[in-house]
Amino acid sequence: MPNEIKKVAVLTSGGDAPGMNAAVRAVVRASCYHQLECFGVFQGYQGLIENKIEPFSARSVNNIVNKGGTILKSARSLEFRTPEGRKKAHKNLLALSIDALVVIGGDGSFTGAMIFQSEFDFPVIGIPGTIDNDIYGTQYTLGYDTAINTVVEVIDKIRDTASSHNRLFFVEVMGRDAGHIALNSGIGAGAEEILIPEENRGLEQLLESLKRSEKSGKSSSIVVVAEGDKTGDNVFELAAYVEKNLPYYEVRVSVLGHMQRGGSPSCFDRVLASRMGIHAVESLLDGKSNVMVGVINDKMQLTPLDQAIKGESAINKELLRVTDILSI
Ligand code: F6P
């Protein structure tokens, strides 16, 4: 049953990701295209509570498709976790006669959206925006493609100095508790070892594999470590353990950190964001709510928010085999 949607608000929430601006732009432009009024909410759910809500026209989102970060800013809001906070947010939306909300963020943001929708029967649609690519219901989340290309570029630079000094580098990458960034950027950058939380092969296996690499004539190596990996307590402790047990290696550590969250979005992320933003608005018009827009086999799909939140984004086991074969 089509909804009588006339006014749509959009916000970004959780860790920012390249492509969020392209998605905001698509939500605003699709709203204008369908003669809806659109509003931008600044600072995520906290902005909803503090009434940081402004009307957006098609021109309000000029020149942002190529910009990393989010012009709407993002924030984590403890107040929105309280019924009082959500009530304030709802009151602000009603005061502007806004009748639907698009939330661009990760599973934490979708949890808030789902609770809000159920408390106020307020139409919400999620767009998966996180570099971690750890959300069920979509093959790609916004920012992931840009992040893995950033990481590959940086590891290529690290490889130059590692090979110049015959060093073993441990490179820690983001992903919170998922190994997608580590696995794909590790393969792309030709890492000898890739350590991810989904597959803990243990310290001894790591030592054996590095010994084999050295015996086969490799004078330098790169080990990509997902920040959620549990092989060691942390990447520095892991590096120290390896240096102690493989004295012929000079070991160094690079923690890439928040640079992985920045940068101009890749074309892939811009196109994905544009498709998702339009699909979110048109799904609202089609009477859909409490769902997340995703891409599966290059088709836009809707997944109920509770499944998107609870579901697992599994590692592609074939890529583990690719890693093993290529590091011979
Ligand atoms: O979820 C995206 C992410 O970048 C994770 O990869 C990382 O662990 C986390 O956010 C860092 O959060 P913050 O920006 O709050 O330090």
Nearest Cα residue to atom 2 of ligand 1: 15
33, 280 Cβ separation under 8 angstroms? no
Secondary structure letter of residue 60 according to DSSP: G
Tell me which of 220, 245, 261 is where a domain ends.
Answer: 261
Q: Answer yes or no: is 2 within a domain.
A: no
Nearest to 141 by CA among 154, 127, 155: 127
Q: pLDDT tens for residues 163-220?
A: 999 999 999 999 999 999 999 999 999 999 999 999 998 999 999 999 998 899 988 9
Report whether residue 182 contacts ligand 1, using a CB cutoff of 6 Å: no
Report whether residue 16 contacts ligand 1, using a CB cutoff of 6 Å: no
269 and 136 within one domain: yes
Of 13, 174, 227, 234, the one to substitute when testing ligand 1's pocket (max ligand atoms within 8 A of C-beta) is 174
Q: Answer yes or no: is 58 within a domain.
A: yes
Tell me which of 261, 286, 318 is where a domain ends.
Answer: 261
CA angle 115, 110, 277 (to 5 degrees): 125
154 and 125 within one domain: no
Report whether residue 105 contacts ligand 1, using a CB cutoff of 6 Å: no
Cα–ligand 1 centroid distance for 195 (angstroms): 18
Nearest Cα residue to atom 8 of ligand 1: 176
In this model, does residue 327 exceed pLDDT 90? no
- Atom in ligand 1 nearest the alpha carbon of residue 181: 6
277 and 129 within one domain: yes
Say what the alpha-carbon torsion angle 81, 69, 40, 74 is, to the nearest 10 degrees. Answer: 20
79, 89 Cβ separation under 8 angstroms? no
Q: What number is the average pLDDT over the span 138-147?
A: 98
Task: Give the CA distances from residue 48 to residues 69, 202, 230, in Å, rounded to whole numbers and listed in that order.
Answer: 19, 46, 38
139 and 17 within one domain: yes
Q: Answer yes or no: is 321 within a domain.
A: no
Q: Answer yes or no: is 18 within a domain.
A: yes
Cα–ligand 1 centroid distance for 108 (angstroms): 12
Query: Can you tell me the distance from the alpha carbon of 321 to that of 326, in angstroms, rounded to the nearest whole number?
Result: 9
Query: Can you tell me the distance from the alpha carbon of 31 to that of 34, in angstroms, rounded to the nearest whole number?
Result: 5
Tokens, residue 238: 């892991």
160 and 107 within one domain: no
Q: pLDDT tens for residues 219-269?
A: 899 999 999 999 989 999 999 999 999 988 899 999 999 999 999 999 999
Nearest to 128 by CA among 232, 14, 238: 14
Nearest Cα residue to atom 7 of ligand 1: 176
Provide, for the chain, the percentages of residues in helix, strand and coil under a 3-state DSSP scheme, each rounded to the nearest 5. Answer: 45, 20, 35
221 and 148 within one domain: yes
Q: Fill in the amino acid letter for 211.
A: K
90 and 14 within one domain: yes
Strand order in the sheet with 193-195: 193-195, 221-226, 167-173, 250-255
224 and 126 within one domain: no
Band of pLDDT at residue 310, cut at 50, 70 and 90: very high
Cα–ligand 1 centroid distance for 160 (angstroms): 28
Q: pLDDT tens for residues 145-154?
A: 999 999 999 9
Tokens, residue 272: 């994905």
Cα–ligand 1 centroid distance for 15 (angstroms): 6
Task: Say if residue 104 is exposed, middle or buried (CB neighbours under 10 Å; 0-12, 13-18, 19+).
Answer: buried
109 and 57 within one domain: yes
- Atom in ligand 1 nearest the alpha carbon of residue 106: 1
CA 156 to chain centre: 22
136 and 11 within one domain: yes
Tokens, residue 273: 């964001």
At which residue do the structure tokens 């004539």 appear?
217
Q: pLDDT tens for residues 85-128?
A: 999 999 999 999 999 999 999 999 999 999 999 999 999 999 99
- Atom in ligand 1 nearest the alpha carbon of residue 132: 6
Q: What's 236's domain CATH number?
A: 3.40.50.460
Q: What's 86's domain CATH number?
A: 3.40.50.450
67 and 85 within one domain: yes
Q: Which residues contact 34 (CB under 8 A, 6 or more apart)?
A: 281, 282, 285
Q: Answer yes or no: is 100 within a domain.
A: yes
Report whether residue 15 contacts ligand 1, using a CB cutoff of 6 Å: yes
Q: Answer yes or no: is 26 within a domain.
A: yes
Query: Can you tell me the distance from the alpha carbon of 299 to that of 314, in angstroms, rounded to the nearest whole number?
Result: 19
Report whether residue 128 contacts ligand 1, using a CB cutoff of 6 Å: no
Cα–ligand 1 centroid distance for 169 (angstroms): 23
169 and 117 within one domain: no
Report whether residue 261 contacts ligand 1, using a CB cutoff of 6 Å: yes
Residues recognised as catalytic: 132
Cα–ligand 1 centroid distance for 173 (angstroms): 11
For residue 183, the SS3 value is helix
**Domain, as residue range, for 129:** 7-143+265-310
What residues are paired with 128 via a beta bridge?
105
193, 224 Cβ separation under 8 angstroms? yes
Q: pLDDT tens for residues 263-307?
A: 999 999 999 999 999 999 999 999 999 999 999 999 999 999 999
Nearest Cα residue to atom 9 of ligand 1: 176
Tell me which of 239, 261, 283 is where a domain ends.
Answer: 261
For residue 157, the SS3 value is helix
Number of domains within the chain = 2
Q: Answer yes or no: is 156 within a domain.
A: yes
In this model, does residue 1 exceed pLDDT 60? no
- Atom in ligand 1 nearest the alpha carbon of residue 175: 6
Q: Answer yes or no: is 194 within a domain.
A: yes
